[in-house]
């Protein structure tokens, strides 16, 4: 029996001082002052206020696999006596006291029920027994539902509290870097791989395993553990390969955040979280704080479509994105980063000197403790993809832009969409998600519906839907598992009978061969004329 | 919004559309549309060209 704490549980009413006191006490190395000087408690307090948390149940002795691996790999061989046991704090929106909880566990009537506990469960935080870095595996409910707020990558995670099974229906694990076996990039990648492990069924790496995998085939110039030097994009890509996924790295143009929003939207919709690498700048002092990596977990869309954001006049649904929610290990889970259109001169460290960059707001505090002064200049996006997702986003958007221009030039959308044209919703999807969506679509009926729901399809598809208001006009599907030299389109679903007839007649007309300017449009039209067209 | 052409009208719409698109005016409009489309998709294509400096830059904060 190595447990360091005698009481099997503690129950407390929630408030910020109590959270700080418990984090300090269970970390065993930190004073309340040192915990309260961190940025996490204030952020968590605002988060718990949004979740209406009222009660904390503490499990003083808790074995956490992620920490145990880090402990076994590093801390156990320190001369100092670091503990192998963590503690876990559970958060509930129901108010109850220790007597009621004790009665529930004892099978007595104390006014508290298992059902009430389950309904009011908001999640847990593991407290690591380490100096300074105390917030371990954290699974908290997302922000309450609100129009346009979407967390596609969250999953159900379970917890068991003294035999009571508790469920967090929508979360993605978060943890703070420990600065020893893990840096910020490790923590961000750990969160991202927690999501992809569930989606693509791969091994869940612990922070120390990620740091090792990142440098196994890409040796660093200096030691990686203790990890004070962080991870590069190339190193993170190696760690992604170590779990059998393929890394997709994208450069973010500094003068255009539509590309960033479009890419994040396209992959997040398929439940694939992404790493966003940024340069942090304190606008109050013009000091560059450094380069930082976060795990993007969700976004908020505006209720109204955006103006055409790109030169072609194509309106993208992704351009509605107002903010993203990111697991930022220096702030907390689901931290907001807003696309507020602020362009700032930033030295990006690439030898060009300061350049104007479209930046995002952050929840970081600068040295004077002020929030909203620290801005993030995006550098890269890194997406871990299942190996069969081969066709990239940029191939799809070119074809769709060509098709959109063809429809507009040929005046075929008149009467079907308003003056501002259709909005294109372009994202990666799966056969199951697609069929579930089509099954619930009132615009699809009869034989056409039967055909689309019962035909075999690739596991992963790119989907581009032209929408006007709440009405779908056209769906174009691409086989995402295909080879890029195959110029065929998987299928086209035209929701309007008249437009469908017109497009099918154009597709079989020999004059189509002459319209080679918009090659992507011809690809789509040809798929309507092929014998195998759905 | 006016109704989209029904099946009986479809052939007429197609003939008219293709006549326009294959005319010199239509070809010119298609060429301009193609140029716009290519220009608009350029940032998405360039996003794959990640400079080596960015690939090897450490995220340390």
pLDDT in the model for residue A510: 81
In the predicted structure, residue A282 carries a pLDDT above the cut 60:
yes
CB contact under 8 A, A249 and B49: no
Task: Assess contact for A313 and A408: CB atoms under 8 A.
Answer: yes
Do the chains contact at A502 and B5, CB–CB below 8 Å? yes
Task: Tell me the per-residue pLDDT of A368-411, one tens digit each, with 9 for 90 and over.
Answer: 888 889 999 999 999 999 999 999 998 999 999 999 999 999 99
Report pLDDT digits (tens) over A142-199: 988 787 899 999 999 999 999 999 999 999 999 998 887 778 899 999 999 999 999 9
Q: What is the pLDDT of residue A55?
A: 98
Sorting pLDDT into bands at 50, 70 and 90, what band is A309? low
Nearest 5°: phi and psi at A288? -85, 120
pLDDT at A356: 95
Cα–Cα dist A162/A521, whole Å: 60
Distance between B25 CA and the closest CA of chain A, angstroms: 11
pLDDT, residue A386, reads 97
Nearest CB to B36; choose among A256, A262, A312: A312
pLDDT at residue number A176: 94
**What residues in A contact B5, CB-CB < 8 Å?**
498-499, 501-502
Q: Which residues of A touch B3 (CB under 8 A)?
A: 415, 498
β-partners of residue A475 are: A465, A493
Query: Predicted confidence band at B2 (pLDDT cuts at 50, 70, 90)?
Result: very low
Residue of B1, B37, B40 to mutate for A, most A C-beta atoms under 10 A: B37
Q: How confident is the model at residue A427 (pLDDT cuts 50, 70, 90)?
A: very high
Residue A531 has pLDDT above 60, yes or no: no
Strands A423-430, A460-468: pairing is: antiparallel
- List the alpha helices (DSSP H) in A74-145: 98-105, 114-119
- Residues A213-219, mean pLDDT to the nearest whole number: 83
Interface of B with A in 41-60 (CB under 8 A): 41, 43-51, 53-60
Say if residue A45's pLDDT is above 50.
Answer: yes
Its ipTM equals 0.90
Q: Which residues pair with A357 in a beta bridge?
A: A344
Helix, strand, or coil here: A13? strand
Q: In this prediction, what percent of chain B has a pLDDT beyond 90?
A: 57
Give which of A394, A404, A508, A524 to mutate to test B binding, by max B Cβ within 10 Å: A394
Q: From the CB of residue A56, how many other CB atoms can be counted at a distance below 10 Å?
A: 21
What's residue A2's pLDDT?
43
Q: Who among B34, B46, B58 is closest to A405 (CB)?
A: B34
Beta-strand runs (E) in A259-320: 274-282, 287-301, 315-316
What are the backbone dihedrals phi and psi of residue A290, each rounded to the nearest 5 degrees, phi first?
130, -175
Alpha helix ranges (H) inside A74-165? 98-105, 114-119
**Residue whose structure tokens are 């506990």:** A117
Q: How confident is the model at residue B1 (pLDDT cuts 50, 70, 90)?
A: very low
Cβ atoms within 10 Å, residue A478? 27
Is the separation of the CB atoms in A520 and A400 below 8 Å?
A: yes
User: What is the rounded average pLDDT for all residues in chain A?
Assistant: 92
Number of cross-chain residue pairs from A and B with Cβ atoms under 8 Å apart: 189
Q: What integer is the mean pLDDT of A447-459? A: 95
Given a cut of 80, is residue A308 above it in pLDDT? no
CA–CA–CA angle A66, A72, A78 (5° rounding): 125
d(CA A190, CA A70): 13
Number of neighbouring beta carbons within 10 Å of residue A350: 13
How would residue A218 be classed by pLDDT, with cut points 50, 70 and 90? Answer: confident
Q: What is the pLDDT of residues A102-141, one digit of tens each?
A: 999 999 999 999 999 999 999 999 999 999 999 999 999 9
- Secondary structure in 3-state letters for A173-222: CECCCCCCCCCHHHHHHHHHHHHHHHHHCCCCCCHHHHHHHHHHCCCCCC
List, for residues A245-265, the tens digit of each pLDDT value: 999 999 998 888 889 999 999
Distance from CA of B59 to the nearest CA of A (A): 5
Nearest to A233 among B1, B20, B54 (CB): B54
pLDDT above 90 covers what percent of chain A? 79
User: From the list B2, B40, B55, which residue is nearest A234 (CB)?
Assistant: B55
The position carrying tokens 């300074």 is A132
pLDDT in tens, B44-58: 999 999 999 999 999
- DSSP for A374-429 reads EEEEEEEEEEEE-TT--S-HHHHHHHHHHHHHHHHHTT-SBTTB-TT--EEEEEEE
Does a cis peptide bond (omega within 30 degrees of 0) precede residue A226? yes
Torsional sign, CA A497, A503, A508, A509: positive
pLDDT of residue A4: 52
Give whole-number Cα distances, A84 to A61, A63, A78, A159, B31, in Å. Answer: 10, 8, 12, 20, 68
Residues of chain B found within 8 Å of residue A415, distances taken between Cβ atoms: 1-4
Judged by DSSP in three states, A101 sits in: helix
d(CA A395, CA A393): 5
Q: Tokens at residue A221, please?
A: 């110039």
Distance of CA A449 to the CA centre of its chain: 32
Helix axes A431-439, A446-454, angle to 10 degrees: 160
Number of neighbouring beta carbons within 10 Å of residue A93: 17
Report residue A310's pLDDT band, with 50, 70 and 90 as the boundaries: low
Q: Whole-angstrom Cα distance, residue A191 to residue A296?
A: 9
The C-alpha angle with vertex A300 and arms to A296 and A303, in degrees rounded to 5, equals 160
């Amino acid at each position: 029996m190595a447990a360091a704490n005698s009481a099997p549980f503690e129950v407390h009413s929630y408030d910020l001082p109590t959270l700080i006191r418990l984090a300090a006490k269970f970390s065993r190395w930190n004073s309340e002052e040192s915990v309260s000087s961190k940025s996490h408690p204030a952020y968590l307090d605002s988060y718990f206020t949004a979740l209406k948390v009222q009660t904390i149940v503490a499990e003083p002795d808790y074995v956490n696999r992620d920490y145990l691996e880090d402990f076994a790999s590093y801390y156990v061989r320190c001369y100092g006596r670091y503990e192998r046991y963590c503690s876990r704090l559970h958060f509930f929106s129901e108010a109850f006291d220790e007597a009621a909880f004790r009665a529930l566990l004892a099978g007595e009537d104390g006014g508290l029920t298992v059902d009430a506990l389950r309904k009011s469960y908001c999640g847990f935080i593991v407290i690591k027994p380490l100096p300074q870095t105390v917030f371990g595996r954290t699974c908290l409910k997302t922000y309450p539902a609100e129009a346009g707020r979407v967390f596609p990558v969250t999953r159900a995670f379970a917890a068991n509290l003294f035999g009571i099974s508790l469920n967090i229906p929508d979360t993605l694990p978060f943890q703070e870097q420990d600065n020893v076996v893990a840096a910020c990039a490790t923590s961000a990648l750990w969160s991202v791989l927690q999501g992809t492990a569930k989606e693509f069924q791969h091994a869940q790496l612990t922070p120390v395993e990620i740091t090792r995998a990142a440098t196994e085939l890409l040796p660093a110039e200096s030691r990686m553990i203790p990890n004070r030097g962080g991870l590069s994009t190339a190193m993170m890509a190696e760690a992604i390969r170590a779990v059998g996924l393929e890394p997709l790295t994208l450069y973010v143009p500094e003068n255009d955040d539509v590309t960033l929003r479009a890419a994040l939207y396209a992959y997040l919709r398929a439940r694939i979280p992404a790493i966003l690498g940024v340069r942090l700048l304190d606008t109050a002092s013009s000091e560059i704080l450094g380069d930082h990596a976060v795990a993007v977990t969700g976004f908020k869309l505006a209720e109204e479509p955006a103006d055409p954001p790109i030169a072609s006049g194509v309106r993208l649904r992704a351009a509605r994105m107002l903010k993203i929610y990111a697991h930022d290990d220096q702030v907390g889970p689901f931290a907001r980063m807003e696309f507020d259109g602020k362009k700032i001169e930033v030295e990006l460290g690439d030898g060009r000197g300061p350049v104007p960059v479209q930046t995002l707001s952050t929840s970081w505090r600068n040295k004077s403790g002020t929030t909203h002064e620290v801005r993030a200049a995006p550098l890269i996006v890194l997406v871990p993809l299942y190996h069969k997702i081969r066709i990239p986003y940029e191939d799809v958007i070119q074809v769709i832009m060509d098709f959109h221009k063809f429809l507009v030039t040929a005046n075929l959308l008149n009467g079907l969409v308003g003056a501002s044209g259709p909005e294109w919703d372009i994202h990666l999807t799966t056969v199951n998600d697609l069929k579930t969506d089509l099954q619930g679509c009132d615009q699809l009926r009869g034989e056409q519906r039967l055909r689309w729901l019962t035909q075999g399809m690739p596991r992963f598809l790119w989907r581009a839907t032209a929408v006007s208001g709440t009405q779908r006009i056209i769906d174009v599907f691409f086989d995402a598992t295909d080879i890029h030299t195959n110029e065929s389109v998987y299928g086209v679903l035209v929701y309007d009978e008249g437009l469908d007839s017109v497009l099918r007649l154009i597709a079989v007309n020999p004059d189509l061969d002459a319209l080679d300017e918009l090659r992507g449009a011809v690809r789509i039209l040809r798929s309507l004329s092929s014998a195998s067209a759905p | 919004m006016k109704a989209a052409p029904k099946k009986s009208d479809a052939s007429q719409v197609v003939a008219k559309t293709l006549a326009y698109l294959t005319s010199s005016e239509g070809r010119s409009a298609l060429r301009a549309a193609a140029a716009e489309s290519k220009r608009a998709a350029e940032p998405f294509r360039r996003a794959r060209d990640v400079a080596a400096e960015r690939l090897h830059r450490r995220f340390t904060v």
